Amino acid sequence: MARQMTVLTVVTVVAMYIGWSEAYSSGDIEAACDTLLPVHGVEPQGGESPFSITLSNTIVSSQGHINVTISGHPFKGVIIRPTAFGFFVAQNGFRTLSCSSTNDTFAHSDNTVKTNPVTFRWNAQDNPIGTYIFNATIVKSKGVFFTNNTATFEIQ
């Protein structure tokens, strides 16, 4: 009986580990939609981020688009969402999430190292005139990520 319990415990632990590693190796981060925080079991890094977010345009029409570029260092993951309505276009190594509306959030699709710079497209959709912000969490490694990555733009 004790041997059966030991085998059952080992099988359970292995199954849990496989499920955990599969979820993160595929970049499965829908749980981060609300907070933009990865579930890595550590707090975000303090201080200045080594990453930069630059925009092709800081002023855009309500139906315009912006090319968003992440640079600074190679990274493993990202989740980024603006405060304005719009949608991202998926590309190799990345995907879109539908957190609040269709394709409103852009994220990594795997945990391979992304080299710099990485540029992707966001399309505005019927926004009122105003100032908006792209908010991003960028993951350097499983235990090191930065939440203080922003870029401001205006819709006119």
What is the CATH classification number for the domain harbouring 112?
A: 2.60.40.4060
> Token pair of 84, please?
């304005």
Q: Which H or E element spans position 3?
A: helix 2-25
Query: Of 13-22, 60-69, 104-113, 134-143, which range is least confident?
Result: 13-22
pLDDT at residue 12 tops 60: no
Structural domain count, the chain: 1
Domain, as residue range, for 58: 3-155
Q: Is the alpha carbon torsion for 68, 135, 24, 74 positive or negative?
A: positive
* CB contact burial 13-28 (16+ within 10 A = b; e otherwise): eeeeeeeeeeebeebe
Beta carbons within 10 angstroms of residue 132's beta carbon: 20
Query: Taking 80 as the threshold, does the pLDDT of residue 19 lie above it?
Result: no
pLDDT band for position 4 (50/70/90)?
low
- Mean pLDDT, residues 117-135: 94
pLDDT at 39: 76
pLDDT tens per residue, range 74-114: 999 999 999 999 999 988 889 999 999 999 999 999 889 99
Q: Is the pLDDT of residue 2 over 60?
A: no
Tell me the average pLDDT of the chain.
Answer: 82
Average pLDDT on 137-149 reads: 91
Band (pLDDT 50/70/90 cuts) for residue 31 is confident
